[in-house]
Amino acid sequence: MPWERSLLDQAMALSLLSWRVHVFEPARALKRLGLYAPTTLGAPLVPGVAGGGGPELSRRHREPVLLAEEPAGYGEVKDFDRVAGLYEAVVRPFSEPIIDEVVELMKPLSPRARVLDPSAGPGGAALRLAKLVPEGEVVAADLSRGMVETAWRAAQQAECHNMAFFQADVAKPPEAFEGYFDAIVCCLSFHHYPDGEAAVRAFRRVLAPGGRVFVADAGPKWFVELARPISELADPGFVRHRTGEEFLQLFAEAGFSSVSWVEALPGIGVTVASV
């Protein structure tokens, strides 16, 4: 019922805001003082994104590139169409400090880098990344048509022109993406993917030689267990969270040459994998 959905949306928003205030902010203060020692797994973490072919797709596609027809199973995505206009305001308090951590791991970031956000939602993170690659570009993709159109409008309003927008299934990227990107940034979206293995294989296909992927999502086992009940109730399209160990195995099996995982903030891990 609509009123039940509204209550769940509000519960999710309050939970995310509370975690930001009571968990993330104290942890960030400790980090600034050098007192936060995150758990790390896998290969030694080496930050940075090199290379960069500069803008091409953003020059060829000024309008959103949309699917000709709804793909099979699109009914599961329509909840995201429904909340496209409100999603940024609800999620941003929680996602903003996580994106801060991802950006730090991407430095030094080539200004000519081509970056893919494969589940860009309303485009907040993609817009921020576009400002960091003024001689490159960011491609904001999402399976939700409503999200793609919302992100495109946000970019138009911000007069951000080094961006392209595609409606695309993360596991079935357009041919134009093959071997194209220097970096992929997937923030708080991986738990929505019905086939995580296929998504990771697609990540590898769309990365250029030397490219890197950065996936931020729930990771420590204690947080996976804590977040599951409300995620199953209130997060549209929720499939499952993975632990850091599971992320390492997933990317290694997909053929990535180096895979690291770090608990960047309490409850949130970032997987960094290189081709």
Overall average pLDDT of the 46-53 stretch: 92
In the chain, domain spans: 2-274
Report pLDDT digits (tens) over 114-132: 999 999 999 999 999 999 9
Contact 184, 207 (CB under 8 A): yes
Report pLDDT digits (tens) over 178-228: 999 999 999 999 999 999 999 999 999 999 999 999 999 999 999 999 889
Beta strand 258-265 pairing with 40-42: antiparallel
Cα distances from 155 to residues 5, 107, 110, 140, 165, in angstroms, run 29, 23, 21, 10, 10
Q: Tell me the percentage of the chain whose pLDDT exceeds 90.
A: 79
Report pLDDT digits (tens) over 137-188: 999 999 999 999 999 999 999 999 999 999 999 999 999 999 999 999 999 9
Residue 80 banded pLDDT, cuts 50, 70, 90: confident
What pTM value is reported for the model?
A: 0.95
Does residue 51 have a pLDDT over 90?
Answer: no
Cα distances from 106 to residues 99, 187, 215, in angstroms, run 10, 13, 12
Q: Which one, of 91, 174, 94, 183, lies nearest residue 133 by Cα? A: 183
Indicate the length of the chain as a whole number: 275
Does residue 237 have a pLDDT over 90?
Answer: no
End-to-end CA distance of the chain: 46
Angle at which helix 124-132 crosses helix 145-157, to 10 degrees, equals 50
Q: Which pLDDT belongs to residue 6?
A: 66
Overall average pLDDT of the 19-36 stretch: 95
How far does CA 63 lie from the centroid of its chain? 22
Mean pLDDT of the chain: 93
Domain 2-274 = CATH 3.40.50.150: yes
Spatial CB neighbours of 66, under 8 Å, sequence gap ≥ 6: 145, 148, 167
Here the contacts of 29-33 (C-beta below 8 Å, separation 24 or greater) are none
